[in-house]
C-alpha cells in the first residue's frame, strides 16, 4: 500500500518524506486555506519535494472552467494529479484530462456506483471518504471492499485512494481489503508508529544500557 500525506504544510511533508515512507501528497481547498499561502506557490513547492503524485484540486462547478483550471494545475509540474469532484461535470473533465495523459484524482466518492463511474471515465485515482462515511452512520470499510470487488471484477486500473482517514484502524482495514493508497494527516500517520509494547521495550533497553556505563560513540 502507498502512503500519501493529506496536507499543504511543507514542514509536515518534509518530516514525513525523511522517513522514506511517503509516496505522494493530497491537498484540497480547505488545506490550502489552512496553509495561508498562495495556491500555485505551495503546490509547486510540494511537487518539488515529493517524487510521487501531488493532488491539486479544481474549484469550478462546470466542465469548461474546470478543464481550464485542471490544465493550469497540471502545468505546475509533471507529478500533478488534478483533483475533480464526482459529478457529471467532474467526470467529463476527468475524461478530457486523461485523454491528454494527465493524472486525475476523482474525489468526494461516497458510493460504489460513483466509483464505478469514475473508473469508466478513466480516473487514475478514486477517493472514497471513509471517515465522513462513518460520521453519518455508514461503514466506510464496506465501501472500500465493494469498490475493490467491482474494480477486480472488470480489471479497472483506477487506484483506490482511501481518504478521510481518521485513525490507524482505517489504514489496517484498507490494507487488508487491498486498497492501493491511504492518504492521511500527519498526526494519523505518526500513530502508525506507536505501540505501547514498543515504548515499554525501548524504555527497558535504555535503562539496561545506562546501567552498563558503555557508550557506542
CATH number at residue 20: 3.20.20.70
Asked whether residue 31 is domain-assigned, the answer is yes
User: In this predicted structure, what is the pLDDT of residue 215?
Assistant: 92
Asked whether residue 73 is domain-assigned, the answer is yes
User: In this predicted structure, what is the pLDDT of residue 133?
Assistant: 85
Q: How many domains is the chain built from?
A: 1
Asked whether residue 58 is domain-assigned, the answer is yes
State the catalytic residues.
83
User: In this predicted structure, what is the pLDDT of residue 64?
Assistant: 98
The CA–CA distances, whole Å, from 46 to 5, 7, 31, 133, 139 equal: 11, 10, 13, 28, 32
Grid cell locating 192: 502508525
Helices (H), the chain: 10-17, 29-35, 39-49, 63-74, 88-99, 112-120, 130-135, 140-154, 168-177, 186-191, 196-212
Q: Which has the closest alpha carbon to 70: 43, 105, 45, 97?
A: 97
Asked whether residue 216 is domain-assigned, the answer is no
For residues 168 and 204, the answer to whether their CB atoms sit within 8 Å is: no
User: In this predicted structure, what is the pLDDT of residue 204?
Assistant: 97
The CA–CA distances, whole Å, from 25 to 113, 114, 119 equal: 26, 23, 21
Asked whether residue 203 is domain-assigned, the answer is yes
Where in the sequence is the domain holding 8, given as residue range(s)? Answer: 2-211
- The Cα 187–Cα 150 span in angstroms is 32
| Length of the chain in terms of residues written | 217
* Predicted confidence pLDDT, tens digits, the chain (217 residues): 999 999 999 999 999 999 999 999 999 999 999 999 999 999 999 999 999 999 999 999 999 999 999 999 999 999 999 999 999 999 999 999 999 999 999 999 999 999 999 999 999 999 999 999 889 988 999 999 999 999 999 999 999 999 999 999 999 999 999 999 999 999 999 999 999 999 999 999 999 999 999 999 9
Asked whether residue 55 is domain-assigned, the answer is yes
Asked whether residue 181 is domain-assigned, the answer is yes
Asked whether residue 178 is domain-assigned, the answer is yes
Q: What residues contact residue 73 under an 8 Å CB cut-off, 6+ apart?
A: 43, 56, 58, 80, 82
Amino acid at each position: 500500500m502507498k502512503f500519501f500525506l493529506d496536507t499543504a504544510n511543507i514542514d509536515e511533508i518534509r518530516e514525513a518524506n525523511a522517513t522514506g515512507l511517503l509516496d505522494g501528497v493530497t491537498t484540497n481547498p480547505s488545506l490550502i486555506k489552512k496553509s495561508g499561502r498562495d495556491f500555485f506557490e505551495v503546490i509547486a513547492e510540494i511537487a518539488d519535494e515529493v517524487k510521487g503524485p501531488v493532488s491539486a484540486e479544481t474549484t469550478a462547478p462546470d466542465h469548461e472552467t474546470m478543464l481550464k483550471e485542471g490544465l493550469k494545475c497540471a502545468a505546475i509540474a509533471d507529478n500533478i494529479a488534478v483533483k475533480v469532484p464526482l459529478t457529471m461535470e467532474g467526470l467529463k473533465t476527468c475524461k478530457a484530462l486523461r485523454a491528454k495523459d494527465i493524472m486525475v484524482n476523482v474525489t468526494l466518492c461516497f458510493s460504489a456506483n460513483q466509483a464505478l463511474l469514475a473508473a469508466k471515465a478513466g480516473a487514475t485515482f478514486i477517493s472514497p471518504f471513509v471517515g465522513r462515511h462513518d460520521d453519518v452512520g455508514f461503514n466506510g470499510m464496506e465501501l472500500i471492499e465493494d469498490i475493490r470487488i467491482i474494480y477486480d471484477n472488470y480489471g479497472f486500473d483506477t487506484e483506490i485512494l482511501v481518504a478521510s482517514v481518521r485513525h490507524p484502524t482505517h489504514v489496517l482495514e484498507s490494507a487488508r481489503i487491498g486498497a492501493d493508497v491511504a492518504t492521511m494527516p500527519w498526526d494519523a500517520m505518526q500513530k502508525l508508529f506507536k505501540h505501547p509494547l514498543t515504548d515499554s521495550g525501548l524504555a527497558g533497553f535504555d535503562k539496561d544500557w545506562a546501567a552498563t556505563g558503555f557508550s557506542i560513540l
